[in-house]
Structure 1
Amino acid sequence: MPKRKAAIAVGGVAALGAAALLLPNANASQDGASAGAAAPKTLKATDASDLASQLAKALGDAFAGSYYDSGKQQLVVNVVNGDNNLLVQAKKAGAVVRQVANSTAALKAAAQTLKTKATIPGTSWAVDPRTNKVLVTADSTVTGAKWNRLESTVQGLGSNMATIKKSAGTFKTKVSGGDAIFSQVQNGTVRCSLGFNVTASDGSPAFLTAGHCGVAAKDWSDSQNGQPIATVDQATFPGNGDFSLVKYNDATTQAPSEVNVGNGQTVQIKQAVDATVGTTVFRMGSTTGLHNGQVTGLDATVNFQSETDPNGVDTVTGLIQTNVCAEAGDSGGSLFTQDGGAVGLTSGGSGDCTNGGETFFQPVTTALQATGATLGDSGAAGAGAGAGDQSGATADPSATAGDQQAGGDAVGGGDQSGATADPSATAGDQSGTGDQTGTGDQSGTGDGTGTGTGDQSGTGAGDGSVTESQ
């Protein structure tokens, strides 16, 4: 069997603004030392995430969250009743230190009260360190008695503990992502998106995608009617996350750690990073292409309406909340930072890329820890690319992405994981193939143990046969 090179090469309509932000890798480096030991440092997003993790451990109970001020490129750390020596150390480390009223423990207690009293389909809550409150969101289905119950619960938490807002659309498992991947099921063809290539704990090549995709189907192909190339090894949805580990059937598969951002350019994925509120993040989707936005909340709980039980709810915890748009067919795809940090896998949300909305992501760090996988290529197939492969290119800092119409059957298709790019090239209207434009609302459900079945009710627009994960 010939070696297959599985690139995280994403088709879709690339947003010009997102590409312009992504490609010029202009984040300021960590400096500030000359301004004095206690002066806040300018930090790249990845450096800010690392510093936030370090300070969370150092400050202990005094730590009440942190966020990234993208305008000033500084990390802001919230503290409550902190020891003055610890605060001085946090400032010396380069963070902006802010005194707040609500501790991490108090915010978690508020979230637990919401879980107990207001687990209503179409609701979510996440900690927003910028306001030092729990942000509660209700979609368009939460009305009447449901809204009254939610509002009453939020008010009962106290005036300075939580805020509530309405969101257009309906929370569904949909997403963001990488290459289109397909699976044949009883009701037709399910389509999701590949997230990040990884190495499984046994050394075999694999990839991460959404858990609701993994419980919907076991065998996955890189083309709509192709033979399976990968098999689900582990899947979690609903419950403590939304992630799947899918192993390539061919042990010699080359699975580079990169994301194709269009026009033959790639972003090398260097490490998994924890999300930080305020950080600019990028999503490539097999339906909508490249889009960017910011992380708006952490440790989010989302209550999806069960698609198999009219009175049921599929609750997923531990997610990242963002204002990045997404549409059907992108589930499981990659969320990453400008400098190559793997952040998340798309889970679901409301809205679309015309009107906006919320999108929730499974943290990559949690998925890796749970599955025992490590980010990147196992190297089983060697470093060299085969004949015809176009390997090795990185994103061109001067290029801008245009309208790149989705190329559907493309996981590694054509081995376009790194063709050398023209520094002055501007991607034009590159129409691809594949049934990639349809909508649907395939929402995998389970019993909280990581197993379950998906309701594949949407159909793709290409030939009427593709169910897209939404």
Structure 2
Amino acid sequence: MLEDSVNRTPAPRTRLAAVASVLLAATALTVPGAAADSDAGRPTAAQLTAAHSALARADIGGSAWYTDAATGKVVVTVDSTVDAGELTTLTEAATTPAGAPEINPTTGILTKYVAGGEYIQLPGGVRCLVGFNVRDSADVKYALTAGHCTNVGDVSNIGTTVNSSFPDNDYALIRYTDQSAAQGSVYLYNGTYQDITSAGNAIVGRGVSSVSPTGGLRSGTVVGLNATVNYGGGDIVYGMIQTNLCAEQGSSGGPVFSATQAIGLISGGSGNCTSGGTTFAQPVVEPLAAHGVSVF
């Protein structure tokens, strides 16, 4: 659960060629009786629910999916470990009477980003980042980070984990030992800080930023909402924000923000800040509401 990366081997060149051929055929794939032209219209809510359920039952690590609100189409992201047969399974699972899904290959391997962080040293040599500092009604201060980094009761270099939610969700709260250490800002790795004054929901197309010791300050956009990510090994998270931000090992728990507004906590993704990639984030409003805390 706390490994640096999912132990899966990248696909060989021949497998990638086979996957490419399946991608070319994907748009022609329909379920029996489905209309073959644009008159089929948008899928219904029930059909989309059925498609998401079928994707979950397929249980293929290295895949993630969400529904594009603008088109009603299921969008499936696959990493380099998904072979041609698995891709066919995913395509069939996500096909509705309105048509086949959109299939998007992504660079590298989908993994939880755990290692190389600076801020939180956890048992077993795990290091992650503080996302945002929060406080409760009694002004007790906590750090928000990724749930896959922690277990309840873990003692780190900044405090003790009092809540950890992973899989399904991916967030955790660490109560600061030194309450004065918690500051309501994000370090931008350029000698300056960004004040965080509120929390909000992600919106498709909205510009967002992230920071990490290895990648520095990075900018991108929100690509999709309510994404399901299967990291493999039973580690499946729901309701994630999909972005085109780059992130690298050591970014887990790190902040995703828009100007002064907290948006999410980095869960994982694929690629890096050289080649680019896909990054998923836990919406920050969920742990805030669940535990009665707020950014400051």
TM-score when normalising by structure 2: 0.79
Q: Which structure's relative contact order is higher, taking Cα pairs within 8 Å and 6+ residues apart? A: 1
Pairing partner for 2:55 from 114, 130, 135: 114
Structure 2 CA distance for aligned equivalents of residues 170 and 305 of structure 1: 11
Question: Which residue in the other structure is 2:184 paired with?
Answer: 257
Is 1:209 paired with 2:137?
no
Structure 1 CA distance for aligned equivalents of residues 180 and 232 of structure 2: 37
Q: Say which one has the larger Rg.
A: 1
- Shift of residue 370, structure 1, vs aligned partner: 2.0
- Shift of residue 202, structure 1, vs aligned partner: 4.8
Alignment partner of 1:145: what SS? helix
Structure 2 CA distance for aligned equivalents of residues 296 and 176 of structure 1: 26
Structure 2 CA distance for aligned equivalents of residues 141 and 264 of structure 1: 39
Structure 1 CA distance for aligned equivalents of residues 174 and 137 of structure 2: 12
- Shift of residue 249, structure 1, vs aligned partner: 1.5
What is the count of residue pairs matched by the alignment?
256
Alignment partner of 1:110: what SS? helix
* Equivalent residues of 1:178, 1:194 under 8 A apart: no
Question: Which residue in the other structure is 2:105 paired with?
Answer: 166
- Shift of residue 270, structure 1, vs aligned partner: 1.4
The list of structure 1 runs, each at least 4 consecutive aligned residues, that deviate by more than 3 angstroms after superposition, is 100-109, 158-161, 175-179, 200-203
1:6-405 equivalence runs, <5 A: 101-102=42-43, 106-116=47-57, 118-155=58-95, 157-160=96-99, 162-174=101-113, 180-185=119-124, 189-200=125-136, 202-215=138-151, 218-221=154-157, 229-239=158-168, 241-250=169-178, 252-306=179-233, 313-338=234-259, 340-376=260-296
CA 1:276–1:177 in 2, change beyond 3 Å: closer, same or farther? farther
- Shift of residue 216, structure 1, vs aligned partner: 9.2
* Equivalent residues of 2:42, 2:98 under 8 A apart: no
Q: Which amino acid aligns with 1:258?
A: S
- Shift of residue 243, structure 1, vs aligned partner: 0.2
Alignment partner of 1:140: what SS? coil
CA 1:184–1:115 in 2, change beyond 3 Å: closer, same or farther? closer
Aligned-CA RMSD value: 2.4
Structure 2 CA distance for aligned equivalents of residues 163 and 177 of structure 1: 34
Q: Which amino acid aligns with 2:160?
A: T
- Shift of residue 102, structure 1, vs aligned partner: 4.5
**1:425-450 deviations in Å (ceiling 9; x for gaps):** xxxxxxxxxxxxxxxxxxxxxxxxxx
Q: Which amino acid aligns with 1:244?
A: A
- Structure 1 unaligned regions, length at least 5: 1-99, 222-228, 307-312, 377-470
* Equivalent residues of 2:91, 2:100 under 8 A apart: no
Alignment partner of 2:126: what SS? strand
**1:204-239 deviations in Å (ceiling 9; x for gaps):** 111100000113981111xxxxxxx31100001111
CA 1:269–1:368 in 2, change beyond 3 Å: closer, same or farther? same
User: Which has more strand, going by share of residues?
Assistant: 2
- Shift of residue 136, structure 1, vs aligned partner: 0.7
- Structure 2 unaligned regions, length at least 5: 1-40
Q: Which amino acid aligns with 1:170?
A: I
- Shift of residue 166, structure 1, vs aligned partner: 2.0
